[in-house]
Structure 1
């Protein structure tokens, strides 16, 4: 290990020392993630406001396109959870070589899987959109977006694994820097390619997809450069990518498969929920798409503190400090509840301010206001669920998260949504009341699992 690597390793190890107040350590890890999410959300708001000028059919086309992509993404989020857990354990135990092996084998595996999925998405775009139940005016927009974004999907999925590797090592700043550049490129590219500026033709929805694909490539290139150069505490050599270590891949799959299925249940439930919502018409799909984008503002602290909890729980367990691991998890939960509670209050008090950023269509604004107010009620239990899940994943307890999430996604969310829309024929608001109920139940069950403490004895 080089002197530079040792210095970076020491910095990562200092994150779990008792020299710094725990809430400061948690915030140090969470803040770059939240900042990255903020930039990404703001960029998406700008993007969707541009797409919104093409009409609600364009918005709905992109919205329906992303739901199936979330299903594919579940594979990489699961593999990423395993990567973070293994890298964090190795860093905490001061085993940098094992951390490097986990990161490298994860990226190799992800590259092969993402290539196959990108090719499939490009050639099956029409079938995917038709399966989602799109109306006639939405179908072509959805097909164009899926075909244009398939290369970006390849870059984005690999980027998820690189990000997971860095975060496991305690580096949340590098993904933030890459995300900042990515969002800048994406916004500028959208403006040029959607509306046809600076001599380029106006591609509309296809332009948004192409711009996003280019931005994903730029982000991945930045993170890979920093990773290979060893500038972020985790140093991977190029030759490592030509060596396959099946023993490491098996460990990744042991943790990653339950995590992937957890994400898959969420994505499948969300996809079928969207399909049910699509039966209510294009306006309902547009409201769902816009409210989902707006709710990402509250996801910032949720994901940020989830990452912090996972990293600190994993590193503390690797360093044989289980009590500190538990304390780190609960600290992340409390901080997430505070910030998400504030966001929930804003959704309840001033929902129209958020909706009108995207559109002024009267039906969408009216429906969106009600939906955001309902979503405001879910923010605190959602904070608990996200942060605790992060801690459990960091410990490698991905099966517990899978079982609880599956119950919430299929029994509560999908089951009740189908009942309320198809049997009782209630309107869109019922979908979101089900969502609130789901988060309350899920947050309580996950918190009980974390308090039980059996995750402290899991071997990864």
Structure 2
């Protein structure tokens, strides 16, 4: 055997060992050792986790896209997802606060304080979600119509939105508990919980939508039931690992009692984190409504189809960027500021490479991807145009999401909040309205505004990252 063959075998064995370690499901200390290896160990399960999250949206879209009245079904699912982004925003915001605090305490070698912070975050989530769920169940039809759905589409989608809003606690807990595990350095458990949820969803979706044996066909409502059951199983998996006492975070019953000082600290970090994603979500809701009013049912359905595919491509990149959050949090806790900076730069480089590949795939394969999810020619035309235009901002978005996660991981949640106000409310919304309405470009104007805003957000984030305020935040 030649020297090159021996070398190749050793490299392959090393790669395989790294992947195996990343997927094992153990908490790790990322304040020492190779930064590149640390990024890879965190990124592999986080990317797979986000791929699983994006599959949720595509599974529903695939099966409802082939129902009778598919334009109504796709529109109902898409608009409901747009509304659910508010819940995603709250969940991600609280999750980021939990990740930052858990990671900081782990970096300080205080796992008991880390566990308590995580449980207090769950307590906050339960209170907030209860209020949102009740409102969504009562006013489901009105919400769809407010979003721009026609009366027929709103009526058709009412059972779907009510089930999804009523069961949104599973969304909240999936995001939050995964954030707790990521902060502790155990990204594999977060990934596996979404595997459980998605496998269940993939199995249940066709059965409950189309019927199977004695099980009747529930149509669009079946998609909501399947997604809810899948997420419920994922949360059950999370809770089992969180509460079994076998990991670094050992939960005691007393941690669930309200600790008002801890809740205050979490809220101070979470409030701007929630706000930054609510700002983004409100912008996306406005854009969805603008497309629905200027492009009609087919324009709205095409845009929602494109967004689902967009999220399928972007969520893995978000998973990679999540590595920056954990690395920054743990290294700041260990007083290793320069290591935190280097971790962000390396993560951003990897994300740029990934997003370059995704940009090429989106530009070249848009028609093929869209054809897989709908047979309607009008929907296809809109969706293909949307994907090709929005993909022009992918590379900038890849850098921006890493920097946003770095700020949040440091507990500096106000910086990305101000950046989002600038990018979404002061730029994206006015520009989209101007192009779509004033210049009469319709949905195309909305599609153009999206990469322009994302690029501006990234440039602003680079400037603020280099200023270094995030290095000095105490939590």
Please tell me the TM-score bracket, short chain as reference: over 0.9
SS of residue paired to 1:435: helix
* Deviation of the 1:159 alpha carbon: 2.2
Measure the CA separation in 2 of the matches of 1:14 and 1:96.
Answer: 12
* 2:255 equivalent to 1:240: yes
* 2:381 equivalent to 1:379: no
SS of residue paired to 2:335: coil
Structure 1 stretches of 4+ with a deviation exceeding 3 A read: 11-14
* Deviation of the 1:356 alpha carbon: 1.0
Measure the CA separation in 1 of the matches of 2:155 and 2:412.
Answer: 42
The counterpart of 2:224, out of the listed 189, 209, 223, is: 209
Any residues of structure 2 matched to 1:439-454 within 5 Å, and which? 439-454=454-469
* 2:269 equivalent to 1:278: no
* Deviation of the 1:325 alpha carbon: 0.6
Any residues of structure 2 matched to 1:163-182 within 5 Å, and which? 163-182=178-197
* 2:41 equivalent to 1:33: no
* Deviation of the 1:13 alpha carbon: 5.0
Measure the CA separation in 2 of the matches of 1:321 and 1:273.
Answer: 42
Any residues of structure 2 matched to 1:2-21 within 5 Å, and which? 12-18=27-33, 21=34
Checking the alignment, whether the CA contact within 8 Å between 2:53 and 2:315 is kept in structure 1 is no
* Deviation of the 1:323 alpha carbon: 0.5
Instruction: Tell me what 2:37 maps to.
Output: 24
Checking the alignment, whether the CA contact within 8 Å between 1:151 and 1:213 is kept in structure 2 is no
The counterpart of 2:57, out of the listed 28, 38, 44, is: 44
SS of residue paired to 1:201: coil
The Cα RMSD (Å) is 1.4
Checking the alignment, whether the CA contact within 8 Å between 1:92 and 1:315 is kept in structure 2 is yes
- Pick which of 419-428 and 442-451 moved more: 419-428
Checking the alignment, whether the CA contact within 8 Å between 1:23 and 1:331 is kept in structure 2 is yes
The counterpart of 1:266, out of the listed 275, 280, 284, is: 280
Measure the CA separation in 1 of the matches of 2:156 and 2:205.
Answer: 15
Checking the alignment, whether the CA contact within 8 Å between 2:84 and 2:165 is kept in structure 1 is no
Instruction: Tell me what 2:449 maps to.
Output: 434
- Pick which of 142-151 and 51-60 moved more: 142-151
* 2:150 equivalent to 1:129: no
The counterpart of 1:84, out of the listed 84, 99, 112, is: 99
Instruction: Tell me what 2:158 maps to.
Output: 143
- Pick which of 138-147 and 332-341 moved more: 138-147
TM-score by length of 1: 0.94
| Partner deviation per Cα, 1:78-129 (whole Å, 9 max, x = no partner) | 1111111000000001011110111010011111211221122111112211
* 2:336 equivalent to 1:336: no
The counterpart of 2:121, out of the listed 106, 128, 135, is: 106
SS of residue paired to 1:396: coil
Instruction: Tell me what 1:231 maps to.
Output: 246
What is the aligned length? 447
Checking the alignment, whether the CA contact within 8 Å between 2:303 and 2:382 is kept in structure 1 is no
- Pick which of 142-151 and 86-95 moved more: 142-151
The counterpart of 1:360, out of the listed 349, 372, 375, is: 375
Instruction: Tell me what 2:268 maps to.
Output: 254
Measure the CA separation in 1 of the matches of 2:368 and 2:250.
Answer: 45
- Pick which of 131-140 and 171-180 moved more: 131-140
* Deviation of the 1:324 alpha carbon: 0.4
Instruction: Tell me what 1:6 maps to.
Output: none
* 2:341 equivalent to 1:326: yes
* 2:75 equivalent to 1:57: no
* Deviation of the 1:43 alpha carbon: 4.4
Checking the alignment, whether the CA contact within 8 Å between 1:13 and 1:92 is kept in structure 2 is no
Unaligned segments of structure 2, at least 5 residues: 1-25
| Partner deviation per Cα, 1:255-296 (whole Å, 9 max, x = no partner) | 111111101101111111111111120111111111111112
Unaligned segments of structure 1, at least 5 residues: 1-10
Measure the CA separation in 1 of the matches of 2:105 and 2:237.
Answer: 24
Measure the CA separation in 2 of the matches of 1:150 and 1:437.
Answer: 32
* 2:323 equivalent to 1:304: no
* Deviation of the 1:459 alpha carbon: 0.7
